[in-house]
Structure 1
């Protein structure tokens, strides 16, 4: 056997990187094998010419890829090779997985620079890293801390206790101890059955630091994958279930649920609809059929279908509450149609086709419920919509494997669920599959959640509470989902108008924690930022902040945000969505830059203190060391690093930034310190008239101040000039190339649309998307609108054709069909309020 190290090109997802590959040959030289040091896979190669020391080769990794058939790609249905499992491990958390002899174990660092601790226990309780081919002898200190401090640790502790394993005797090993790049991975093979524990260790990140623990992925390739009938198995229950049954396509099942108990309807394979109906049990006992009524429900909640939050309930025709939605990982269902019926299939030419309505009739007969030709129902996962002509249409469901809806019974119920058999249209993605139904005891506590995914193929995340959530919950129960987090909408004893006036006259405090934070570090960090944003980062000094746009190659905006410079090679990107951070990482990887981009959103929560009194409040709370600026000294778009009250207080970063058009600051801290930080600011601010502010009032403030918002003033087809922030594109003074520069130069030379301000007559506030017209032709659309309290009139922002964008131009905003109702308006300069930005500079004279 001979071996030599040579260079080989390893291609993964269109990214080429150089890795050391070991070649081995049979003793007779008849075959040569390549063994990837990081992938752990062995590939047979064709004979190499004598003297050759390098070659190109593609090794396909085991990671998931989008499902594709006949040219149709569905990123929302990522697939893995048969027998491969994927287990995400949260940053700072851990995961335990049963392993069998011969299984291949791959650990992937998703974002880079994240060490990973591994511990393996054999069935006899012994722990030896050598049983997975790793070098042990390390104390898994990070794992021990994670078991105590991270929610994921509870399941690991339970697995250890059930198996009788002693973590104190664990033989640990560390992967990526010497550093790693985004996407790097290492593979091991188990020589014994056992329990594998994987940990992504990391302590809480101080707000001035940039080393937050990040997620890693564990892949297990089973030596004996076996066969799973029907595809995937249901995921683990949320708790110990009372009922747990599977419904095959073309079947229905009736079941009883008591008040307070929970019902989980789960799409096992993805893209499968399930009709759900529930009857008041007490009404049935009296001979009355009082089931969920879609029309009553829509009228009561003001929505086509309820969702987790304040308006989450379904009603019957007596306006009795039947169930409420607690969790929804999909967010797209139907409540205005019928379950599929015999007539539907007959009219399509399929007489005798099995259908949900007939199946429901058969099952409900045991409760003496009269049969119906078509059952109204909550059509979970059914993707129907109303078009512009109010016609109902359908498409494939949005649900992925394992997606579910969790409901809570508000009275004793008789329920029925189906697995839809439709295979003649997109209702089930042309492939009917199974549904799992589980019920849980009312003693369980399940948080309210709406599923959130950074990208279509990303793991589902539950709606999170920010570090400041409980502080704002003292003032309101009106929380709305925003980018995967719960944020307050209005305060119970104030309301949006009072909150607005407090910001203009005194001070407010608001939760901005869902803003996405990404730490950009490394020798090439400045080069990466200079490449990816429109502002000239070379001119940004340490401690400085700059507002900028980030664009695709065609000039359309990915996001707007701020760049904080914490050091010569240390930056923090703060934007509105994850796409901007993922774009930064993608560019770093594809261009081979020595830079890392790692998410820190969950390690940095921030409140904004805004208003004329904001400086007077914070100067009494924030202590800064001599080398840092005090709150009173802090200039606009600068940051300072300090602590709460004094030298030993919780660490904070304070920036003089905001989104209100007023003098204001943002205070960043770790979630563990959030309540203490809020309480200290509240103790000083509340006697001075400061009140909490929610999203409704914030929207009013930012429209008056002419501040743009994603999905309103810009999207990926809108360039910064069209979005009204052309000042963020210094094409003359920034001489370096950046992504989108050529397109922006072309667009700036030949503009077609422009963002303008409008003053409207008549007192009616238009709706975003309303058309803007000059006579018959449409020349643009409303992006944002409000009735300004301080100006006493209706104002709006609109994007219109440059041919009609002159100040003073008379236009009309169309409503109804755009023709039958017109709101007269005049194009005016914006911002409508404080156009010279004197107030945000602190000038209130």
Structure 2
């Protein structure tokens, strides 16, 4: 019999000794957990109001201290579950009728948690129910976090296989190396078992080896052809040999920081450090590759996965502990038959492996039996579970039109389209209309009796003036006045708001603010429940007017004013349509559930065909937004810049009756500004980019934040943050290239937006 014991009953239970691991069960999915006797399980609802059920297999139903509310029968719950098919199948196949309890109700406060302890080995399922959220509703299923702490420290455990097609499981013990063969098309997963352990990787063309020639991965060739310091999933994914033939491509990467410009560690390194005879990767490689007839070397150029090296501001090479955590991995696909070798780096005299070498695990999967999605890991916080780049609901249509996708804040979005390219897409936006996928925007549902109080305290805008159906653009600031993010607030009701922004952390920060002021409000992430298309351009209203139908109590598209939204349908698909955008043109955004996204895309493209509607990617979007003076996070603002320095001072009223975060600092910065965002007209045709220094004489007075070659203006333009003493209109400055001194490009301070400064087009 398995009994779960709450830790606060009968005195505090002894804390398990193992390292905690956290896993996320996505809203609308199920996940299995195997525990040993004494293991502790904490189930947490970080966003609140999310039901969660625990089902225990192989027990007779005896529990002590668990919530008494029973869960629905497991088969009934699984019928509504879409996510994590392997776990669902395993739960359905588990023997015996599971005993289920409800851990959280639909009114649970954010941060609610239940901590339990297993007295015997147990298999359990955590089920997080949820249905598709309609775009005008706010019942998004959200994530549940499950933390397990083992009673006995456990190391050397690897995560389950990514697919049931493993053809090789190879453990590389600490400070050793191993060689193995891989067939063309197969996948290679290199796993950091216990975290912070480097693994050097070699690969040779097997056919060439059979003929006595060694053609292995070449880091210099790869960096030259890819234009990247290391290859990652996406357009720059391949690794080449010196013949410029691709040997492998990166499919998935949960770390995102590796090294491709140094050797695997050598005997000489340790000798020079005073450790002659120290084990090293080069000699370990020489030993394991001897069986394949590969000649030994004194230093092996390798792809150093998980090795955290960098080039500093003074052109020196430095290193620190790896970013990788237990179970992190890189997934590669062989593009030809290969002989590969992987090491567990032997370095224990510096931070390279966190000072303690541990194991590396290699899995090879049959490529004919599996097809893995591409993606890099994104973590909202350093200790969060990695989430790979994902596709929006529009991806099936987008991928038929282009292969040029980039990872934009965790979503695969098109850079441009094969039929036209960025310049043609740009002109379509200015002269006709374009449609683009902006589903990477983060959405948060802010609900509850104190929702208005939270938003009023969080932003400089006076949210109390916001009417139902209205949208307002605003910054979100820290207490020192620096910006967390910018975004738009939709008012859906008296106590209902939707915050649309660029950064996942905005939701965490809003929840922390609510807790600090004891506000009765929930902030729940609805990003995966709302995908959105932007239809922008002079003909956007004509395209959508006959397509969007609204009920009598909602505005029609013709009645919709700037920064307002309406609720309606496109065909039979529920949508929210807002008159907003990021182009400086008349335009709209259409919000729908991802499961209906293809229907919305098809309807808009059909309606837009007579008007010359064109898909537009991120490259053209960058041109139009810079021309229109629209700022971009990480470029035009950061936590080091206040709204005035970001050029959006209009969002900060001089008088707001209520306090808001950063108010005192922002008022002080308003009174004594140091920097100002300005426009620059740039002479000549030299390329200008983000981060280029701006000079007056020898002194640097600022930095370029964004720049582009404007097709409609026929010149290079930029946004730049300058010292206020040099920010007057007409001031002649220079943009520094190379080191800022050896090459200068003349420029002149001008007002911005550079194009349509009165925004007559967006108000059309």
The Cα of 1:137 is off from its aligned counterpart by: 4.9
5 Å matches for 1:283-682?
283-443=208-368, 444-645=370-571, 649-682=572-605
SS in 2 for 1:204: coil
Other structure's SS at 2:230 match = coil
Secondary structure at the aligned position of 1:324 is classed as strand
Q: Tell me if 1:109 matches 2:37.
A: no
Give the drift of 1:292. 0.6
Structure 2's unaligned 5+ residue stretches are none
Helix, strand or coil for the counterpart of 1:526? Answer: helix
In the other structure, the counterpart of 2:133 is 205
Please give the residue correspondences for 1:235-246 in structure 2 after superposition, counting only pairs within 5 Å: 235-240=159-164, 241-246=166-171
The residue aligned with 1:706 is 629
| Pair 529,299 (structure 1): closer, same or farther in 2 beyond 3 Å | same
1:742 paired residue number: 664
Call closer, same or farther: CA 1:836–1:61 in 2, change over 3 Å. Answer: farther
- In 2, the alpha carbon distance for the partners of 1:652 and 1:178 equals 25
Q: Give 1:814's aligned residue.
A: 736
Q: Secondary structure at the match of 1:283?
A: helix
- In the alignment, the residues of structure 2 paired with residue 150 and residue 276 of structure 1 have an alpha-carbon distance, to the nearest angstrom, of 37
What is the rounded CA distance, in whole Å, between the counterparts of 1:614 and 1:282 in structure 2?
56
> Whose RCO is larger (CA < 8 A, sep 6+)?
2
Instruction: Quickly say closer, same or farther: Cα 1:38–1:603, change in 2 above 3 A.
Output: farther
Comparing 532-541 with 246-255, greater Cα deviation is found at 246-255
1:118 is aligned to 2:58: no
> Bigger CA drift: 656-665 or 104-113?
104-113
The alpha-carbon distance between structure 1 residues 374 and 147, as it changes in their structure 2 partners (threshold 3 A), is: farther
> Could you report, residue by residue, the CA deviation over 1:434-493 in whole angstroms, capped at 9, with x for unpaired residues?
111111111211100101101111110011101111121121011000111111101011
Deviations 1:649-707 (A, max 9, x none): 11100000000000000000011110001110011112310111100000001000000
SS in 1 for 2:499: strand
Between 93-102 and 251-260, the greater mean CA deviation after superposition: 93-102
* Distance of 1:318 and 1:100 partners within structure 2: 52
CA distance in 2, matches of 1:286, 1:736: 78
User: What is the match of residue 835 of structure 1?
Assistant: 757
Cα deviation 1:82-125 (Å, max 9, x = unaligned): 275544211111122235566554322121011112222326xx
**1:798 matches 2:730:** no
Instruction: Note if contact 1:108-1:185 (Cα within 8 Å) is conserved in structure 2.
Output: yes
Q: Retained in 2: the 8 A contact 1:103–1:189?
A: yes
Q: Could you tell me how far apart the structure 1 residues matched to 2:5 and 2:551 are?
A: 46
Partner deviation per Cα, 1:484-525 (whole Å, 9 max, x = no partner): 111110101110000000000000000111101000010110
Structure 1 residues 129 and 839: CA distance shift in structure 2, 3 A:
farther
CA contact 1:88–1:216 (8 Å) conserved in 2:
yes
Q: For the structure 1 residues 702 and 397, does the alpha-carbon distance in structure 2 shift closer, same or farther, using more than 3 Å as the test? A: same
Match in the other structure for 1:174: 102
TM-score by length of 2: 0.96
Quote the offset at 1:140 in angstroms: 3.5
Q: Contact (CA 8 Å) 1:139, 1:170: kept in 2 or not?
A: no
How far apart are the structure 1 equivalents of 2:669 and 2:216? Answer: 57
1:250 alignment partner in structure 2: 175
Q: Could you tell me whether the CA contact under 8 Å between 2:57 and 2:95 is conserved in 1? A: no
Mean CA deviation greater in 549-558 or 339-348? 339-348
Partner residue in 2 for 1:160? 92
Corresponding residue to 2:614 among 691, 704, 729: 691
1:754 aligned to 2:676? yes
Alpha-carbon separation, structure 2, partners of 1:284 and 1:117? 55
Give the superposition deviation at 1:188. Answer: 4.4
Partner of 1:151: 83
Conserved? CA contact 1:131–1:190, under 8 Å: no
Count residues in correspondence: 759
Q: TM-score, normalised by structure 1?
A: 0.87
Deviation at 1:542, TM superposition (A): 0.6
Instruction: Output the aligned Cα RMSD.
Output: 2.0
1:300 is paired with a residue whose SS is: helix
Runs of 4+ in 1 over 6 A off after TM superposition: 59-62
Between the aligned partners of 2:294 and 2:337, the Cα distance in structure 1 is 16
Cα pair 1:136 1:171 within 8 Å, conserved: no
1:218 offset after TM fit, Å? 2.8
| Structure 1 contact 132–190 (Cα < 8 Å) conserved | no
Change over 3 Å in CA distance of 1:831–1:335 after alignment to 2: same
Is the counterpart of residue 139 in structure 1 residue 61 in structure 2?
Answer: no
Structure 1 285/110 Cα, relative in aligned 2: closer, same or farther at 3 Å? same
CA shift for structure 1 position 346: 1.1
The equivalences for 1:767-782 within 5 A come to 767-782=689-704
